[in-house]
A and B are shown apart, each in its own frame.
Chain A
Amino acid sequence: MATQSPSASIAGPRDRESFFDAQRRNRHATWRLSAVSVVATLVMGIPLALTVTPLLYVAGLIVAEIVNIWMPLPASFWQHSGELASYGLRAFQWMTGGKMPNPQALVEGIAVLLLPGSILSIGLWISINSLFRRAGVGGALLALKAREPSASELKELQLSDVLQEMAIAAGLPAPKIMLIDAPAANAAAIGHSPNDARIVITRGMLDRLTRDELEGALAHLVASIGNGDFRIAFRVASVFETYGLLLALINSPFGPRSRRTLWRVVRYGLSFKKGAGDPSEAAAVADLLSRGAGLETDDIDNFFDTTAKKKSVLRSIRNFLLFPIFFTNVAIKLTLWFFSFSMLGPSVALLWRKRVYLADAAAVQLTRNPDGLAEALRKLNSQRAPVPGGAWASHLFLVNPAGSDRMNDPKEEAAHRQQLAAIWAASQPSANVAAPAPNPQSTPFITQEILATSRAAMAGNQDALARMTAFRQAAATALGKSPDELPSLEDIAAAQRGDKTAIQHLAQFGRKVNASETGSTGSNSTSTSQSTSSSFAGFHPSLKRRLKRLDRMGAHVELVTSDRKTWIVVTALSVVLGPFALVAAALLLVLIAIMMMASLAFLAIWMAVIHQVFVILLHH
């Protein structure tokens, strides 16, 4: 069987595709789509650089003026900067339809307009990359609250065994496996190279899949590690993060949140410490990651909130002074939104889908059993549920964890956990031991501890049972309820097995105390967010498409034949709406251009004013 050449398709009743062919096809598609994505990134980067550059010149001017007060700069400096400005002005004139300057001046002008912004973006990108390289895995695992599997429980032993087998089949070092105690059924591969890869799997998935299905699912993840998907995932994430950071940089004069984000990245990205041992650093990165691509606009919205009650002269003056940045901000936001929606997002999502198909085909190569993976995908897809804390990494998961778009409000969640930790500590049987004040860092481990104890209690451990009873009492008094209103041990265990009613029961309780763990299925799935989640959602190919490809490789799946009518409707709609969409896109582009010009014009005026102010200051 293996002696036949890899390109020959296997004879069969249907037109089968060998998994080698499928892999080659998807690899080639990856190359094409990465080229498209790189082009899209550059196309998006050009207007951004154009918008950011003037801002940098303003910052440079202010610095130069301040230096000039104490240490007069030579006249040639001011002359050079004047020339610089005229270069940029000429290029800009040409772009906006003026007369063509000579080519050399044009190139210089474009360089003047593009280079500083590009250099800044590349610098940010590099620091984001180094940040990911060092703290990514630890932070990711902390965000997911994962633990190691036990070797004494049959199911968990089987899990480690199956993973070992798959690693052997792929000829890779076996990744470490981490379990998340959640009723959701899903798994993901996390890391940046095959050597430090982790596979994260929920307990709910382990409980639901048979050995064959587990094999297929883990083979997909191991194959994805072996194919080098980490590099692609981190590149993609780093590009989105870079754009987010750029926005944070521009927002930084307006609000503390952007400043905090920025400060963190600078601190962790530029510290040349080796290894990722620092848990607080990992936590910070996890926080950064879990807030998505960092495209937050609260700061600037609050800042220019004209309906705010606190109106004062000082505030108005400040608003007036910083007004040009508002245009820059809008221009950048529009550019980001428009280009990532129309170009970068789709091309990257398609690229990632090809990687998913590739890993599927490679998984079939490893297990030689397409049915296992197909059945696993079908099961996981029918029980889609958010993974606690897994929002930012949703594209890394085996199937789309629908509804897990964003975590709860972090503050609220932290408060809940704090409360839970306090109750847990208070219910400690040995009252003479002073309960240590629960610090926010250790709360994830406390929830884990609770779950572990509840499991032990279910298994018949008397001490654990007593502890859980005490905990229930304490929780009931803390919440002002009778213990019967709280979920019982059986409920927690059932929820871990995936029982729907138990999950709902827990979810009600979860709103009160433990919002992040077992209760998340019922309570938080409604909270959806805009930017990152919607762009990451398209990263998962539909189950139907994946099954169709697996079917071609020999899986026995019943495919729902696609409806012709939907196709007709879709085509008709696109014919009708297509022109409208094009017009809208053109209008948006014009709007972006206008915003950029406004930003540039205001910044130019601003620069002139700043210069005059300093000149006057200097003369007095």
Chain B
Amino acid sequence: MPNLSTIAIIAIAAAIVIWFVSIFNSLVALRVRVQNAWSDIDVQLKRRHDLIPNLVSAVQGYMAHERSTLEAVTQARAQAVASANGTVADRAQTESTLTGSLSKLFAVAEQYPQLRAVESVQLLQEQLTSTENRIAYARQFYNDEVMKFNTRQATFPRNLFAEILGFSPATMFAAQETERANVKVSV
């Protein structure tokens, strides 16, 4: 018949194992959420790539004098599409160039009242505005999840085991320099 101390030792060992498992599982769940949030950004970037050709062809007729602005957008899109399978840093670079050229296009379009009156252009612009917002929100969500994940890893007692269990802090999706710069529009 096992005595009381062996039972106690087994119970404590079981508790520790369960505790470890729960730490591991919660970290894994958070990591999956972070990955998922990252792929959500991807989806929205893809959506933007698909929308741009429509927008460009819709506004082309009205903005014949803004050829350079339009070309910049087309070019930036092509680069962004090309880097879709590249490194994260590469992608962040091309996507932010695209964001910059798009916001310039919108700023320029403000000067064409007849363009703003066209319903299809309005709808397209709304879609693109929304896509920009979606990218921003997807990014915000990603950063929030990364923050939760990293905080969880860095706080006691998980910080003692996080590395042993193979977890490392995820990186935030920071704004690029080109996005921080204000768009200059000559009125």
Contact = CB atoms under 8 A, between A and B. Distances in A.
Contacts of A154: 119, 122-123, 126
A161 B130 contact: yes
Interface stretch (A164-172, A391-399, A536-544): A164-172
B134 A170 contact: no
A365 B141 CA distance: 10
Contacts of B138: 168-169
Contacts of A610: none
Contact of A165 (B33, B37, B130, B172): B130
Interface in A363-377: 365-366, 368
Interface stretch (A2-10, A33-41, A268-276, A465-473): A2-10
A5 B154 CA distance: 11
Contacts of B33: 171
A76 interface: no
A501 interface: no
A152 B119 CA distance: 9
Interface residues of A, number: 20
Contacts, number: 52
B-side interface mostly: helix
Contacts of B110: none
Interface in B143-175: 143-145, 147, 151, 172
Contacts of B37: 171
B172 A3 contact: yes
A168 B151 contact: no
Contacts of B123: 152, 154, 157
Contacts of A168: 40, 44, 134, 137-138, 141
Q: Which of B33, B143, B147 has the most C-beta atoms of chain A within 10 angstroms of its own C-beta?
A: B147
B130 A162 contact: yes
B126 A157 contact: yes
Contact of B134 (A164, A365, A366): A164
A531 B126 CA distance: 46
B140 interface: yes
Contact of A2 (B126, B130, B133, B143): B143
Interface string A165-184: 11011110000000000000
A316 interface: no
A161 B126 contact: yes
Interface string B119-137: 1001100110110011001
Q: Which of B126, B138, B151 has the most C-beta atoms of chain A within 10 angstroms of its own C-beta?
A: B126
Contacts of B140: 169, 368
Interface residues of B, number: 24
A169 B137 CA distance: 5
B27 to A, nearest CB: 18
Contact of A3 (B44, B133, B147): B147
A302 interface: no
Interface in B22-38: 33, 36-37
Nearest to A166: B137
A42 B172 CA distance: 49
A81 interface: no
B150 to A, nearest CB: 8
Nearest to A163: B130
Nearest to A155: B126
Contacts of B145: 171
Nearest to B145: A171
A86 interface: no
A158 interface: yes
Nearest to A169: B137
A171 B141 contact: yes
A512 B129 CA distance: 45
B174 to A, nearest CB: 10
Contacts of B143: 2
B20 to A, nearest CB: 25
Contacts of B122: 154
A149 to B, nearest CB: 13
Contacts of A166: 137
B127 A161 contact: yes
Contacts of A366: 137
A529 B140 CA distance: 46
Q: Which of A152, A170, A171, A365 has the most C-beta atoms of chain B within 10 angstroms of its own C-beta?
A: A171
A160 to B, nearest CB: 9
A3 B122 CA distance: 37
Contacts of B40: 168, 171
Interface in A1-59: 2-3, 5-6
A366 B134 CA distance: 12
Interface in A210-246: none
A161 B47 CA distance: 13
Contacts of A170: 141
A44 B141 CA distance: 43
B53 to A, nearest CB: 20
A429 B172 CA distance: 63
A164 B172 contact: no
Nearest to A170: B141
Interface in A351-389: 365-366, 368
Contacts of A164: 130, 134
B130 A6 contact: no
A382 B143 CA distance: 36
A362 to B, nearest CB: 11
Nearest to A368: B140
A369 B145 CA distance: 19
Contacts of A5: 151
A551 to B, nearest CB: 23
B19 to A, nearest CB: 23
A169 B141 contact: yes
B37 to A, nearest CB: 7
A307 B143 CA distance: 72
A152 B138 CA distance: 25
Contacts of B126: 154, 157-158, 161
A168 B144 CA distance: 12
A20 to B, nearest CB: 10
7 contacts: A157-B123, A161-B129, A165-B137, A168-B137, A171-B40, A171-B141, A366-B137
Interface of A: 2-3, 5-6, 152, 154, 157-158, 161-162, 164-166, 168-171, 365-366, 368
Given A2-B172, A157-B123, A168-B138, 9 more contacts: A2-B143, A2-B147, A6-B147, A6-B151, A158-B126, A158-B130, A161-B133, A171-B37, A171-B40
Interface of B: 33, 36-37, 40, 44, 119, 122-123, 126-127, 129-130, 133-134, 137-138, 140-141, 143-145, 147, 151, 172
Question: What are the 3 closest A-B residue pairs judged by CB atoms, nearest first?
Answer: A161-B130, A169-B137, A168-B137
